[in-house]
């Protein structure tokens, strides 16, 4: 099937928002999505964007059952490793179920890699849920390795009330 991979624009935020919800539903946590289409527009397409997007688009005659031509996306941003320097972090990678098996996911990830390499990055990082076997297999096939498993690094966070207390110096 024909498809194009291109940089996301402001106009794509409606579809990105739709697909973010679809991905959250797949990960069984859609009630946690607080970001709106408008937030995406502000946070991703202002002077100092917090993220960048890539879209996988199919021609009109291949549109989805509900009439969508934007059928996959990736969100990424630049980070920094204190050991190796510039890095790129792939926050989301998603292809609508009816368009899987056509290498769109691979093409999206490849595009993020190309852009990362062009920006001087020496690694691509991302997280995967441990029950997501099909994604784990896909990534391991691309030559990725599991830092949590192999080196024992755990992802931690301090949010909401805990963050507020920390800011106030409470213990």
Partner 1 sequence: MASFILRKAEPKDVSDILRLIKELAKFEEMEDQVILTEKDLLEDGFGDHPFYHCIVADVPKQHQSADSHVIIGFAMYYFTYDPWIGKLLYLEDFYVMKEFRGFGIGSEILKKLSQMAVRTRCSSMHFIVAEWNKPSIDFYKRRGASDLSLEEGWRLFKIDKQNLLKMTNEE
Question: Exposure string (b/e) for 128-154, b if CB count within 10 Å is 16 or more?
Answer: beeeeeebbebbeeeeeeeeeeeeeee
Burial grade of 88 (CB within 10 A; 0-12, 13-18, 19 or more): buried
Nearer Cβ to partner 1 (63/125): 125
Nearer Cβ to partner 1 (65/134): 134
Catalytic residue flag (residue 153) = no
Cross-strand partners of 4:
57
Look up residue 10 and give its two tokens.
Answer: 């402001």
Catalytic member of 73, 78, 139, 153: 139
Nearer Cβ to partner 1 (61/154): 154
Give the Cα-Cα-Cα angle 120, 142, 68 (nearest 5 degrees).
Answer: 90
Please list the active-site residues. Answer: 139
């Amino acid at each position: 099937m024909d498809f194009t991979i291109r940089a996301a624009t402001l106009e794509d935020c409606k579809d990105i928002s739709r697909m973010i919800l679809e991905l959250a539903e797949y990960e069984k946590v859609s009630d946690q999505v607080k970001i709106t289409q408008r937030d995406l527009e502000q946070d991703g397409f202002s002077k100092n964007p917090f993220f960048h997007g890539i879209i996988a688009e199919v021609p009109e005659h291949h549109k989805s059952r509900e009439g969508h031509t934007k059928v996959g996306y990736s969100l990424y941003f630049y980070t920094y490793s204190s050991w190796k320097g510039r890095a790129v972090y792939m926050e989301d990678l998603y292809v609508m179920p009816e368009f899987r098996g056509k290498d769109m996911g691979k093409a999206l990830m490849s595009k993020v890699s190309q852009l990362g390499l062009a920006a001087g990055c020496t690694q691509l990082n991302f997280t995967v849920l441990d029950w997501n076997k099909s994604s784990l297999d896909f990534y391991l096939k691309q030559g990725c390795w599991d830092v949590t498993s192999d080196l024992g690094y755990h992802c931690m966070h301090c949010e909401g009330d805990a963050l507020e207390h920390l800011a106030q110096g409470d213990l």
